[in-house]
Amino acid sequence: MTRLEGRFDTEKIADIHTSSRSFIKNGSSSSNSSNTCNSSNSKKKKKTKRGKAIAVVVVVVVVVVVVVVVVVVVVVVVAAVVVVVVFCCIETAVAVVAPAAEVIAAVAVVVVVVVVVVIAIVVVVVVVVVVVAVVVAAIEAAATAVVAVSVVVRVVVVVVVVVVVVVVVVVVVEVISVVVVVVVLVAIEAAAAVVVAVLVVIVVVVVVVVVAVVVLVVVVVVVVVVVVVAIEAAAALVVAVLVVIVTLIVARR
């Protein structure tokens, strides 16, 4: 009986050892499976972040294109209105025979032109402010996504804004130049025999030129500010690229 009991005890110990080994093995396999699940979840999160970043880029590009189209349409419409008003005023001034009436017509032309130019300037300023607000909102939205993508979006948006501002400046300068030349010619033809009228016309033309110069100075300041922001964004992009390169080198090592 003693030998049988000892043999029974030995077999019992062997069974316990085998079961413990299988339990340890199963535990390690379950831990490996949990690690695999965690890695798959992290990959899904990365894919979600990339998807959000791509969506932000698409939204920013669409908004910028819409704003650029609106700016171009507004500038073209304002230029057309200026041309029509100037030609109508010229016809009115030519139709008047009396010198006093010619002087009044010339002054009316100048006043109408100044009013139209001021309206055009206000519209351009409002559009530029809207563009800047959209750009700021896009940059803030892109900042929550991947850093490199947000920097690229910022650079692209700033470049588009600079191009739009330069185009608007060129159109405004051309419109103002044409208006000033037409007003001077009409005033000289209408008030050639009246010294006082010529002086009045010269004063009005000087006022128009001063307004144009002020607008140009404001636009140049806006362009300089946008260029500075673009340079800062480009520097941030370079830094982000360098960080990515260094991270890849360290990861390979």
The full set of domain ranges for the chain reads 37-252
- 0.85 surpassed by pTM: no
Which residue from 117, 97, 83, 103 is spatially nearest to 186, judged by alpha carbons? Answer: 103
- Give the CA angle between residues 157, 163, 167 to the nearest 5°: 145
Q: What is the pLDDT of residue 1?
A: 46
* Helix spans in the chain (H): 2-95, 99-143, 147-190, 195-252
Residue 200 has a pLDDT of: 61
Q: What is the mean pLDDT of residues 169-195?
A: 63
Closest CA to 147 of 231, 245, 240: 240
In this structure, are residues 139 and 59 in contact, taking their beta carbons and an 8 Å threshold? no
> What's the confidence (pLDDT) of residue 223?
72
In the numeric block, the tokens 């507004």 are attached to: 74
For residue 237, pLDDT over 60 is answered with yes
| Mean pLDDT, the chain, whole residue set | 62
Q: What is the pLDDT of residue 218?
A: 73
Mean local confidence (pLDDT), 136-141: 60
- What pLDDT is stored for residue 226 in this prediction? 72
Hey, what are 98's tokens? 């009396």
pLDDT at 211 over 50: yes
pLDDT bin (cut points 50, 70, 90) of residue 222 is: confident
CA 77 vs. chain centroid, Å, equals 23
Q: Tokens 């990515």 appear where?
A: 244
């300068």: which residue's tokens? 173
CB 76 within 8 A of CB 143: no
pLDDT band of residue 111 (cuts 50, 70, 90) is: low
The answer to whether residue 5 scores a pLDDT higher than 50 is no
Question: What is the phi/psi pair of residue 146, to 5°?
Answer: -65, 145
Average pLDDT over residues 103-130: 66
d(CA 28, CA 147): 38
Q: State CA 2 to chain mean position distance.
A: 93
Within 13 Å and on the Cβ side, how many CA atoms surround 135?
A: 24
